[in-house]
């Protein structure tokens, strides 16, 4: 039985409304006491967290592992190791792997590989439709029994509205959350940037705001019709934020997240064909960016995620429209989120940590994201004042495709614990 104490840290646990100096004591993977140790407790190891924050391990709602199918780009072992270095202890993996997560075998493989690596917990999302084609509903019950935490069609559209309705009804029957990427495939029309001034100036095919608006409107109508619990992934427009806020006000069971990079980048950053800023949904206008921030402050958007998409170098060397979309984003999730506190004064530190721990846990319906006594000891220890530069040498992920390379960042993880075991320690 391993025993560990974390002393002298500032403990922030939004789920229990704690923001105060507390020692924390762990035995056999569980938190057994805050403050004074239990009588007779003797730690095998003590971590000094002076001038650091001790909070629950971060929970990332969307991160592609590239395994199975694209192990030449990244693996579950490499990306969960990178996640641990960023304080992330639980990741949600979308179903668009190769093969697709539409059978229990694939879900079991992902969970097995994550357990073997031992750096972070990986919760797979099962496919909403077979092969993500959008024609036939997947075997959701079998996927749930295999450990899938919800269902999604990832970035593949379900253009047949009746199929979407039936899929939502089926998911509701078995109490599965549907994760939605709101994008009308016809309006997207192979665009690669926001349709506006920048797309016109550089002659790039644009994706109009309406592509997200139309999809959100359709899906909200079906969510209300079917009563399914639904979550919108990666909002990018102010109009979508307002629509979802209205639905929440009316009692519709719906939540939403935003990526950290959409909170700090806009269409302007795609200038001069910077393929590192090729993401999906695209970076929108600065007005949309402000609306996303306000949506987060108002609680309409409850979680910040990485939408981690590692690529090899070649994938970003093509012309902008032909380059792969996505950012390697695990290691910038926490420091970019902390900018909402230090630089933008938008949220308190406790509110930011809640959007990375307690709230994503609530969306997933898992018993995590807190430091309650008896809880599994998934813990992140970071220094919010530690300044560092994101360089290729500092990135642990196999993917180096980040527009934030060279940025001065603030906030560095020093220790990450999974099940009470130290899985990352900054040297």
Positions annotated as catalytic residues are 307
CA distance 52 to 49: 5
CA distance 82 to 77: 9
Residue whose entry in the numeric block shows the structure tokens 């992140």? 380
Number of residues written out for the chain: 427
CA distance 149 to 405: 33
CA distance 167 to 173: 10
How many CB atoms are located within 10 Å of the residue 385 CB? 13
CA distance 373 to 88: 20
Are the C-beta atoms of 197 and 221 separated by less than 8 Å? no
CA distance 357 to 258: 14
Helices in 236-321 by DSSP H: which ranges? 238-249, 286-298
Residue whose entry in the numeric block shows the structure tokens 């079998």? 142
Residue whose entry in the numeric block shows the structure tokens 């269409």? 267
Structure tokens of 316?
Answer: 């970003």
CA distance 289 to 264: 7
CA distance 361 to 56: 11
């Amino acid at each position: 039985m391993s025993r560990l104490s974390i002393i002298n840290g500032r403990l922030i646990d939004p789920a229990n409304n704690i923001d105060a100096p507390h020692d924390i004591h762990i035995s056999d993977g569980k938190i057994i006491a805050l403050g004074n140790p239990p009588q007779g407790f003797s730690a095998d190891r003590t971590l000094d967290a002076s001038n650091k924050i001790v909070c629950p391990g971060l929970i990332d709602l969307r991160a592609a592992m590239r395994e199975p199918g694209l192990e030449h780009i990244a693996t579950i072992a490499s990306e969960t190791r990178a996640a641990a270095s960023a304080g992330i202890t639980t990741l949600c993996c979308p179903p668009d792997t190769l093969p697709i997560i539409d059978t229990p075998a694939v879900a079991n493989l992902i969970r097995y590989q994550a357990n073997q690596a031992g750096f972070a917990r990986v919760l797979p999302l099962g496919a909403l439709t077979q092969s993500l084609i959008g024609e036939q509903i997947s075997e959701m019950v079998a996927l749930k029994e295999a450990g899938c935490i919800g269902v999604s069609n990832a970035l593949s559209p379900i253009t047949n509205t009746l199929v979407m309705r039936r899929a939502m009804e089926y998911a509701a029957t078995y109490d599965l959350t549907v994760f939605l990427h709101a994008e009308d495939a016809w309006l997207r029309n192979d665009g690669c940037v926001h349709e506006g001034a920048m797309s016109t100036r550089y002659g790039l095919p644009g994706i109009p705001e309406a592509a997200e608006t139309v999809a959100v409107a359709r899906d909200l109508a079906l969510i209300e019709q079917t009563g399914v619990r639904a979550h919108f992934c990666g909002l990018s427009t102010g109009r979508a934020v307002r629509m979802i806020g209205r639905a929440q006000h009316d009692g519709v069971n719906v939540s939403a997240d935003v990526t950290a990079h959409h909170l700090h980048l806009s269409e302007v950053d795609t200038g001069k064909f910077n393929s590192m800023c090729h993401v999906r949904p695209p970076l929108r206008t600065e007005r949309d960016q402000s609306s996303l921030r306000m949506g987060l402050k108002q609680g309409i958007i409850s979680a910040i995620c990485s939408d981690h998409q590692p690529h090899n170098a070649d994938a970003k060397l093509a012309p902008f429209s032909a380059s792969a979309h996505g950012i390697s984003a695990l290691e910038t999730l926490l420091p970019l989120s902390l900018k909402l506190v230090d630089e933008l004064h938008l949220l308190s530190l406790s509110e930011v940590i809640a959007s990375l721990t307690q709230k994503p846990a609530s969306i997933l319906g898992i018993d995590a994201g807190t430091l309650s006594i008896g809880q599994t000891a998934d813990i992140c220890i970071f220094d919010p004042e530690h300044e560092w530069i994101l360089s290729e040498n500092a990135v642990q992920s196999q993917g180096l495709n980040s527009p934030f390379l060279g940025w001065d960042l603030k906030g560095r993880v020093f220790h990450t614990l999974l099940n009470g075991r130290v899985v990352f320690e900054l040297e």
